[in-house]
Amino acid sequence: MPYKWPANTDFAFWELDVIDRACPACGRMMYICDHRYRRLHTLDGPVQLVCKLNHCPDRLCAGHARTKSPELEVTIAPPSWAIGWDVFCWIGHRRCSRHMSIPHIQSELQDDYAIKLSEDAIAKYIRRYQAMLAARQQDPEALRRQYESVSEIVLSIDGLQPEKGHETLYVVRELTQKRVWFAEALISATANEVQRLIAKAKDWATSLNKTVSLWISDKQDAFVTGIAAEFPDVPHRYCDNHFLRDLAKPVLEADSHAKVQMRRKVRGLRKIEQAALKQQNADMSTSLRDDPEATVTVIVGPANGPSLAADSANTVVLEYCAAVRGILNDDQGGPLHPPGLRMAEALKEVRESIQRNLDAKKGDSQKSNSAVWADALTGDWSTSKPSKSQSESTSRTSTRWPQPLNLKVGDARIARRSSRG
Ligand SMILES: [Zn+2]
pLDDT in tens, 347-403: 999 999 989 988 887 755 444 555 545 555 544 444 434 444 444 444 344 334 444
70 Cα: distance to centroid of ligand 1 (angstroms):
17
**Which letter does DSSP use for residue 63 in this model?**
T
Distance 75 CA to ligand 1 centre (A): 26
pLDDT at 289: 59
**Residue 153 DSSP symbol:** E
CA of 23 to the centre of ligand 1 (A): 5
Ligand 1 centre distance from Cα of residue 22 (Å): 8
Distance 187 CA to ligand 1 centre (A): 56
C-alpha 14 to ligand 1 mean position (Å): 28
CA dist., res. 421 & res. 418, Å (int): 10
* CA 410–ligand 1 middle distance (angstroms): 82
Distance 174 CA to ligand 1 centre (A): 51
Residue count of the chain, please give it. 421
Distance 56 CA to ligand 1 centre (A): 5
The predicted pLDDT at position 136 comes to: 82
What is the pLDDT, as a whole number, of residue 297? 47
131 CA to centre of ligand 1 in angstroms: 37
Distance between Cα 87 and ligand 1 center (Å): 37
CA of 27 to the centre of ligand 1 (A): 6
pTM score of the predicted model: 0.51
The pLDDT of residue 127: 95
The C-alpha atoms of residue 342 and residue 177 are separated, in whole angstroms, by: 39
Condensed to tens digits (0 to 9), the pLDDT of residues 15-44 reads 999 999 999 999 999 999 999 999 999 999
- State the chain's mean pLDDT as an integer: 81
Spacing, Cα 15 to ligand 1 middle (Å): 24
Complete DSSP assignment for 319-355: HHHHHHHHHHH-----TTS-HHHHHHHHHHHHHHHHH
| pLDDT attached to residue 301 | 45
Query: Which segments of the chain have a pLDDT < 50?
Result: 292, 294-305, 365-367, 372, 378-421
Q: 31 alpha carbon to ligand 1 midpoint, in Å?
A: 10
What is the helix (H) or strand (E) element at residue 108, kind and residue range?
helix 102-113
φ, ψ dihedrals at 186, nearest 5°: -110, 120
CA of 64 to the centre of ligand 1 (A): 6
3-state secondary structure of 237: strand
Strand partners, 216: 156, 237
Q: How far is the CA of 286 from the centre of ligand 1 (A)?
A: 112
Question: How far, in Å, from the CA of 171 to the mean position of ligand 1?
Answer: 52
Q: 116 C-alpha vs ligand 1 centroid, how far in Å?
A: 43
What pLDDT is recorded for position 115?
95
How far does the centroid of ligand 1 lie from the alpha carbon of residue 33, in Å? 13
Report CA(60)–ligand 1 centroid distance (Å).
8
